Structure 1
Amino acid sequence: MKKVMLKSTLSLAVAMASSQLFASGFALNEQDVAGMGTGFAGRSSSAENASTVYGNPAGMARLEGQQITGGFAVIDASTDIKDARGNASGTNKGDMVPFTAVPFGFYTNKLNDQWAVGFGVYAPFGLITDYESNFQGRAFGSKSEVQVISFQPTVSYAFNDRVSIGFGPTINRIAGTLESEPSLGALIPGTGDNRIKVKGDDTALGFNAGILVQATDTTRVGLTYHSKVKYKLKGHTEVTPGAGVPPSLLANGRYDASLNVDTPESWDLSVTQDMNDAWKVYAGATWTRWSRLKDITVNNEGVTTAGGVLAPGIVGSIKEEQNWHDTWAYALGTSYRITKQVVLRTGLTFDQSPTNNTDRSPRIPTGDRTIFSLGLGYDVMPNMTVDLAYSYLKEEPVKVAHTNALGQGYSAKYKNSANGFGLGVTYKF
């Protein structure tokens, strides 16, 4: 038995990217249902409820007393796959994103005219994609699941009634699973698909910071920075050889695995403009540094085979390029209070995809997207507000064309869309 260290791009971090989320790459926007209704156009400047802990920590200075905001959003996605071609046989149903819920919760407490504190629990990144068992592109990814949960204690300080700042360290927990089914059929005809499963997790620190300026009596400007977070995931890789694959080429086993990956930093600038007592207009732009994701490598330790020979392209030394680029998202929204208790919202968002035509794979079949949003806020009591929101996402059609080190190829045209629904409650006391 021969022990070696090897590198394999069984890309756990690549699995984070999903075209069905309402932000670019594998980011999630769903931390506030009121903001969801305006397309998150005024996220860093509105400060309308306790979710400002995430949107802009400086906004806590505007909230009176204590507030709790909680809720969830659900995502119903669909994908149309056409013109699929590849070495393997199989189906291309495209129904790979299950009905998914994204919860959140926030608390704020204004201590005095200058100081406020708060706390948030939310999901800034995450996805789940799960293709059918006979998916034609299964060699490039059959299932991907990633969850990032952040805990954020936060403090804000108001210099006066015009300018405030806020800061909150984040404690972030990431856990992920990646599965794929590459084949050695080009080397050994008639052998079955091999199953590869990678799992890993880590906890790391980051921070959010922001400034909020009441520029005029009717204009408010906010700027928020979300830091990058450096993860060193540790877990294991499980290898199950297909029928007819000799142990001398690929052995059944479980091996320690590790992966270094950074979630990107972002800047969010937005403006809230009061047109009159009923109308508000929101505008925002977000820049995200996705260019940090150049390539992905999983390190497996202690891999052994009976003959000391490893199958190339499965647990051998290969490298999967990503070469993502930085992205911009732009949003415009408005709200109208039709009665003292009821406010209506709408928003339009344009969001760039970080992927490129050369390196896009079935794990990341994402293109630029347009998102239309509607929202409703209802004050059921003087100290309680219920928010509802709906968003429709439509992506530009994109092409996927990939070949691995085993000579397997897969190409197809993807057309993605999604419906999002949100429910949130804010209680003041």
Structure 2
Amino acid sequence: MKRKLLTFLGCALLSGMVQAGGFQVNLQGQKQIGMGHTGTGLALDEASVFFNPGAMSHLRQNGFQLGASAIISKIAYLETAPGNTTAKSDNPTGTPFAAYGVFGKEESNLRFGLGVYTPFGSSVKWGEEWIGRYGLNELSLQAIFIQPTVSYKIGDKIGIGAGVVYSTGGVNLQRSIPVQDQQGNDGHAELDGNASGWGYNAGIYFKPSDKFSVGLTYRSKVEMKVDDGDATFRVASSLASRFPNTSFEATLPLPSNITLGLGFMPSEDLTIAVDVQRVNWSAYDKLRFDYGAAVNGSTFTESARNYEDVFIYRLGAEYKVTDAFALRAGGYYDNTPVQEGYLTPETPDANAIGISGGLGYAISENFQIDASFLYISKEERTDLSNLSGGIGGTYKTNVYIPGLAVSYKF
């Protein structure tokens, strides 16, 4: 029991961070979301700060863009024997945002950009009654990336660019502890902390003709560090010495990404994009927590994660109905990095299919509105081996994500 308690305490917090990153519900640009979140091989708009800094130099107008999405997610759980208990998460709606600015002198090949976006930001809420309450009651996570970027156009066909990333965020996790007070109530644990880290984003963009373009980007690993987080416990007074309120430290590697993107323009009105993305999740092989004081007899916990590197395959298209109105559609297939035996209620991950659509309307020469809708269906997945202290059973996840952005060019 002692080992299981420590495993739950150690696993739950930062694996939830991986849900937001490994979840790969990327929402960094409304045009791109509508096209299956493609964009590495295109110079579409100010969101190139994220998708390909090299393409940013091919944006000849200065501009700003602000967009937001609403993540509506539901997770269903079925206990696979003996009780066949069911549960559904009651997740609050997440509202990640993305803001970009690109500017430079009209005659210059040099462009400067700034991106502020939330690639990690979601919540999971199972409540205190379900069978997996000793693994998780609820989890809330927000991370904000701030990325100043520079891009340079070499001749008419090539652009290169790079940006520095500073990540800051916070996480709150709550779970029940399998120790009861005199009234039979479970104990309660809450882990709350701020995390930060540094990384970078670099890319190259090549457009040899009006019909074809290609881009290659690399987003580095970011080591998210939690320093002096708060671990608080509510237990019977007779157990208080075993579960003291204390601090904790931990580090989570958010994986690097390599993406190759192609753009095809068979006509002035039609653009087709293909992206292949490799996510280097093998950087996340274990998770360790160090506590300021012994919790249930130990000053640290460590558990295996053993995530695998995976590929995401994306396809999208945009058709300009008129000079002011555009329609978009796309989809992708996302392989899960979670191996058999490592499924958890924070990240009940599985291979996923994303289907998206969108539209854009130019109100004037300066203002444009873009909207998107993304539906994600994760395969039903059963995992009973519990190598990572998870809650064995069958999980099914569906996600609905509408989004809207406004942009201004000058």
TM-score by length of 1: 0.87
Select 2:251's aligned residue among 235, 249, 260: 260
Alpha-carbon offset, residue 90 of structure 1? 11
- Does 285-294 or 195-204 show the bigger shift? 195-204
Is the Cα contact below 8 Å between 1:236 and 1:254 reproduced in 2?
A: yes
Superposed displacement of residue 69, structure 1: 1.0
| Deviation per residue, 1:60-114 (Å, 9 max, x gap) | 211123100111011111222224558xx99743124221111110000132331
For residues 65 and 340 of structure 1, what CA distance do their matches in structure 2 show?
17
Q: CA deviation at 1:403?
A: 5.5
Kindly, what percent of the aligned residue pairs are identical? 24
Alignment partner of 1:336 is 2:333: no
Q: Distance in 2 between matches of 1:210 and 1:28?
A: 21
Q: CA deviation at 1:136?
A: 1.4
Q: 1:352 aligned to 317, 335, 357, which one?
A: 335
What is the 5 A alignment of 1:245-394? 246-247=238-239, 250-251=242-243, 253-303=244-294, 311=296, 318-394=301-377
Cross-structure match for 1:231: 224
**Secondary structure at 1:345's aligned position in 2?**
strand
Contact 1:125 1:148 in 2 (8 A): yes
Q: Give the one of 369, 389, 396 matched to 2:379.
A: 396
- Count how many residue pairs are aligned between Structure 1 and Structure 2: 402
Contact 2:290 2:299 in 1 (8 A): no
> 2:396 is paired with a residue of what secondary structure?
strand
RMSD: 2.6
- The worse-fitting range, judged by mean Cα deviation, of 205-214 and 191-200 is 191-200
Contact 1:16–1:26 (8 Å) recurs in 2: no
Which amino acid is 2:360 matched to?
A: G
Q: In 2, are the aligned partners of 1:11 and 1:296 still within 8 Å (CA)?
A: no
* Superposition deviation, residue 317 in structure 1: 5.5
- Equivalent residue letter for 1:236: D
Residue 361 of structure 1 contacts residue 402 of structure 1 at CA under 8 Å; is this kept in 2? Answer: no
Quick one: which amino acid aligns to residue 39 of structure 1? G
Structure 2: tracts of 5 or more residues without a match: 1-5
1:250 CA drift (Å): 2.8
Q: Which amino acid aligns with 2:248?
A: A
1:36 to 24, 27, 33: 33
State yes or no: 1:16 paired with 2:17. yes
| Alpha-carbon distance in structure 1 between the residues aligned to 2:346 and 2:127 | 13
After superposition, residues 186-201 of structure 1 pair within 5 angstroms as 192-201=185-194
Instruction: Specify the SS of the correspondent of 1:215.
Output: strand
Equivalent position of 1:202 in the other structure: 195
Residue 142 of structure 1: aligned partner: 137
Q: Of the candidates 26, 50, 56, which is equivalent to residue 54 of structure 1?
A: 50
Secondary structure at 1:129's aligned position in 2? strand
Equivalent residue letter for 2:69: A
SS in 2 for 1:212: strand
1:10 shift after superposition: 4.5
- Kept after mapping to 2: 8 A contact 1:178/1:197: yes
* 1:134-190 deviation digits (Å, cap 9, x = unpaired): 1210111111222110111111011111001001111110311222213047xx998
Aligned to 1:154: 149
Please say if residues 191 and 230 of structure 2, whose CA atoms lie closer than 8 Å, have aligned partners that are also in contact.
yes
Task: Call closer, same or farther: CA 1:410–1:60 in 2, change over 3 Å.
Answer: closer
Matching residue of 1:182: 177
Going from structure 1 to structure 2, the CA distance change for 1:56 and 1:33 (only over 3 Å counts) comes to same
| In structure 2, C-alpha distance between the alignment counterparts of 1:205 and 1:126, rounded to whole Å | 18
Task: Go from structure 1 to structure 2 and tell me whether the alpha carbon gap of 1:317 and 1:48 turns closer, same or farther (over 3 Å shift).
Answer: closer
How many Å separate the matches in 2 of 1:383 and 1:319?
54
**Could you say if the C-alpha distance between residues 40 and 403 of structure 1 is closer, same or farther in structure 2, counting changes exceeding 3 Å?**
closer
Structure 1 equivalent of residue 206 of structure 2 = 213
Q: Is there any run of 5+ residues in structure 1 with no aligned partner, and where? A: 1-5, 304-309
State how far apart, in whole Å, the 2-side matches of 1:220 and 1:102 are.
30
Which structure dedicates a bigger proportion of its chain to helix? Answer: 2
